[in-house]
Amino acid sequence: MSETMTMAKALNAGLRRALEADPKVVLAGEDIGQLGGVFRITEHLQRDFGPERVIDSPLAESGIVGTALGMALRGYRPVVEIQFDGFVYPAFDQIVSQVSRMRFRSMGRLGVPMVVRIPYGGAIGAIEHHSESPEAYFAHTPGLVVATPSTPLDAYWMIQQAVASDDPVVFLEPKRRYHEKGEVDLTEPPLAFDAARVVLEGTDATLISYGPMVKTCVEAALAASTEGRSLEVIDLRSVSPLDDATIRASVEKTGRAIVVHEAIRSGGIGGEIAARLQEWCFYSLEAPVLRVTGYDLPYPPSRVEKNYLPDLDRILDAVDRSMAD
């Protein structure tokens, strides 16, 4: 059975299904109850499941995550919402110093089955601290799963897979895609939680991306096809761990790779993927691995964010440079 819905509605439906499936699932965050969250992802869930399972928390990110950690250790499966990406940093210490290490610290005796939901990325015309892409901080931290959907279908299933995970998940939601619609199969999960997806098949070069930039990469691939170029597009879906096998197989086939993400270039996910491809595919590469990313700057004012974010022209320019080598 399929339905057409936005990513926001798909996340809401996925959370609803998780709450129905397990009485130990609890949601918490600022304004997620009566208001339904800034983006209405939790709309009507407090009405239907009660204020003890959908909790309006104080404005205190470190306290939200720290409380969820304690609940997870007591057998609950908390799902907490950070209102915007740039507000996660007060909770950063709890996530990387406590949540991520508990299984290792306890020699496997204690797990932390919790989800930290973070709307992330730009292109919504927001002010400072509302458009950031912090995924590399978390991907750099052992013990955390870092995942991000790019479609309503993945949003619906991946949020349920995140809640069911026995390890802590940082779940990044591309806010610029919240209101875009897609078909959602409500009966069959599409892929394993940590598997990448080949969105388009091609033979000349591979575009590797995740979250908000997957759609832009598909648009670039379709534009390139009018000039006779065949681009493969991979949606990573899981930033940590990476699906090494899918990435490697694609680049060994095409011989060229371009990694696209909104986050700044230095120390980003693109650099990690480029290093892995250098190790695995040295004799298959026809050109250096390229990156199309945000610039090494704080996220700019919304008036000029279009100049900061990767777009179709910058991706096609990278394809031209790769094909010229």
Q: How confident is the model at residue 71 (pLDDT cuts 50, 70, 90)?
A: very high
Sign of CA dihedral 68, 178, 197, 292: negative
Question: What percentage of the chain exceeds 70 in pLDDT?
Answer: 100
* Strand (E) or helix (H) holding 291: strand 290-294
Q: What does the pLDDT read at residue 278?
A: 97
Q: In DSSP terms, which residues pair with 78 in a beta bridge?
A: 26
Average of per-residue pLDDT values in the chain: 97
Q: What does the pLDDT read at residue 188?
A: 85
Domains and CATH numbers, the chain: 2-185 (3.40.50.970), 197-323 (3.40.50.920)
Q: What does the pLDDT read at residue 325?
A: 67
Rounded to the nearest angstrom, the gap between the alpha carbon of residue 301 and the centroid of all alpha carbons in its chain is 23
**pLDDT surpassing 90 at residue 214:** yes
> For 175-181, what is the mean pLDDT?
97
**pLDDT surpassing 90 at residue 190:** no
> For 139-160, what is the mean pLDDT?
98
Query: 129 an active-site residue?
Result: no
Note the pLDDT tens digit of each residue in 260-282. Answer: 999 999 999 999 999 999 999 99
Assessment of whether the complete model's pTM goes beyond 0.85: yes
Question: In this structure, what is the dihedral angle of CA atoms 98, 104, 105, 106, given to the nearest 10 degrees?
Answer: 120
Note the pLDDT tens digit of each residue in 283-306. Answer: 999 999 999 999 999 999 999 999
**pLDDT surpassing 90 at residue 35:** yes
Q: Are 160 and 10 in contact (CB under 8 A)?
A: no
Q: Which backbone phi and psi does 175 adopt, to 5 degrees?
A: -65, -25
**pLDDT surpassing 70 at residue 118:** yes
Encoded tokens for 227: 């000039």
Q: Out of 44, 129, 130, 179, which one is annotated catalytic?
A: 130
Encoded tokens for 291: 């990156």
Distance CA 71, CA 52 (A): 13
Residue 245 DSSP SS3 = helix
Distance CA 227, CA 258 (A): 18
**pLDDT surpassing 90 at residue 1:** no
Distance CA 115, CA 145 (A): 9
Residue the block writes with tokens 């790019």: 150
Distance CA 127, CA 113 (A): 33
Exposure class string for 84-112: b at 16+ Cβ within 10 A, else e: bbbbbbebbebbbebbbbbbeeeeeeeeb
Sign of CA dihedral 269, 275, 279, 285: positive
> For 137-156, what is the mean pLDDT?
98
What residues contact residue 20 under an 8 Å CB cut-off, 6+ apart?
Answer: none
Exposure class string for 164-177: b at 16+ Cβ within 10 A, else e: bbebbbbbbbbbbb
Residue the block writes with tokens 């470190």: 62
